[in-house]
Amino acid sequence: MPPTILVIKDDLDITRVVQYERENAGYEVLTAADGVGGLTSAHEHHPVLIILDLGLPDMNGVEVARRLRKAGEVRILVLTAVDDVSSKTDLLGVGADDYVTKPFDPPELLARVQVQLRHQTSQDLMTLGLLTVSLSRRLCFYDGHEAPLSNKEFELMALLSQQPGRLYSRDAIVRHLWREEETDKIGLVDVHLGNVRGSYVRPVVMG
């Protein structure tokens, strides 16, 4: 399945420009006309980049950016009519990776999109033989097929794939998955590893 770009903006002209350019480059472009629709689409499709207009009809765009960032790692490019330094600083503070001030030329927007996609690709995709892990989309593929992993199982795969060959104790995995020491979770590590092995994924697993 191709990487996805989500445009949250009720401006069809801008959407068409991005769709035409990015679909030609092999990306699927999805659209949402308001904040609620954008948050729902982001949750369902795990885009690699979100182009977010702050002037949405139903929600404050800054709040949408904050919720997107809280939900997970994704590149966020903001479109804003605001042109004062403090507001731009606020945008970056809530999780935007870059912004374009309106009005703007389509080539400028596309150039900014390309920068964000290059940055995302360099940090996001990890390939180990037949295994591919996308951190931003929270998806894992083995031999071209998506592995049906739960949230904890994906976090386990992300941990193992970032440093292939490294040995992890079960205690270390518990601390990574639950962010604290919980001895009663040790048994769950083996359950998750068993599920990962049964999902066409063959990671290097610690003893």
Domains and CATH numbers, the chain: 4-124 (3.40.50.2300), 129-197 (1.10.10.10)
Q: Which residue has the tokens 């359950």?
A: 191
Q: What pLDDT does 7 receive?
A: 92
Pairing of strands 125-128, 131-134: antiparallel
Q: What contacts 116, CB < 8 A, 6 or more positions away?
A: 49, 75, 77, 97, 98
Q: What pLDDT does 179 receive?
A: 66
Q: Which residue has the tokens 């994906």?
A: 154
Distance CA 129, CA 121 (A): 18
What string of pLDDT tens digits covers the 207 residues of the chain?
567 889 998 776 777 777 776 766 677 889 999 999 999 999 888 888 899 988 889 998 888 988 988 777 688 999 888 766 566 677 777 778 888 888 778 788 888 888 888 776 555 667 777 777 877 667 787 776 778 888 888 888 888 877 777 777 888 888 877 766 555 677 787 787 777 776 655 443 443
Q: Which two tokens stand for residue 18?
A: 């991005």
What crossing angle do the helices spanning 85-93 and 61-71 adopt, rounded to 10°?
30
Q: What pLDDT does 125 receive?
A: 67
Radius of gyration of the chain (CA): 19
Q: Which residue has the tokens 């996308």?
A: 134
Three-class DSSP labels, 122-142: HHHEEEECCEEEECCCCEEEE
Contact indicator for 88, 110 with CB cutoff of 8 Å: no
Q: What pLDDT does 171 receive?
A: 82
Contact indicator for 14, 102 with CB cutoff of 8 Å: no
Alpha helices in the chain (DSSP H): 12-24, 35-45, 61-71, 85-93, 106-124, 151-162, 170-178, 186-197
